[in-house]
Structure 1
């Protein structure tokens, strides 16, 4: 079944199992990529997605219609909450008591292979890229991922992360500024080539400063 997200969502609300399976297959790769980077744990990401969809199906009668283009952001936000709840449950079982232990992984995880430019980089440049990403805060890395890997608009990023749209914009702007400062020009330009459409406005700002 190949239907737009919103059509599948409407059919799921009506109890269509085939639409539910199609929605799961359609959204799984993006959700898994996000969940894996949030947790750094393959099994936790997979389990979180399974639990999320089980809950969606069980509660479908209580769910409402979503605006055009809102299905994927809704699922990302729901997965973020699901994984946070799973982490809290795990920490209670493990008896951890630090403030952050009940949240998601301390780092939003990247590897060089996440980038289309990876094959064009030397080993030293890959290390430089990861070191530059390490200069970003956890929330900055997450915002960058949502913007440039999943293509969400600022208002969607804000909703997923529990921010206002201006804060989401600021996170992206600050992130790009930090990356430009910490990357060698050759790597920065390659990164821009991957993110060309999204970064163009920021690049104009930077080159004018």
Structure 2
């Protein structure tokens, strides 16, 4: 079957055609992704994400080269996004640790930092799905608003609004905790 015929069937919602595509490429794409991520489970997760996105956006699908090239490029891009996200998270964590070691601290400071990080991640997890996705792409993966808009097929203004909503939610969720820390710090200093 030609790429065009297969794509047409998938666009029309033919699940057997999609399943055939998945079976043909899943293993080889997983091996390909493993070369980037050095972790087979993570590689398989990336390939599954690519196929899910492919299926969700099947009606808008346009292949300019070949279906195989599109799948490989999509997996490559997703792997690079994941690597960038992991590196950004690691740099953020390293910066927190470096700042902490630069001062005279005790283990309670580490616990407070860990608590605060956990509260931030919990707050992000409570956001609506699209808002959470956009916020993570922006703040954890370091993507620009226009990149996010293009990738998700939404307007840049929608991305800006979702990020603003996420930041408002974070401020509300963390306000009481931060206020308590400030009060404790003031009591210690006085």
Scaled by the length of structure 1, what TM-score is found?
0.40
Higher-RCO chain (CA-CA 8 Å, sequence separation at least 6): 1
In terms of fraction of residues, the more helix-rich structure is: 2
Larger radius of gyration, structure 1 or 2?
2
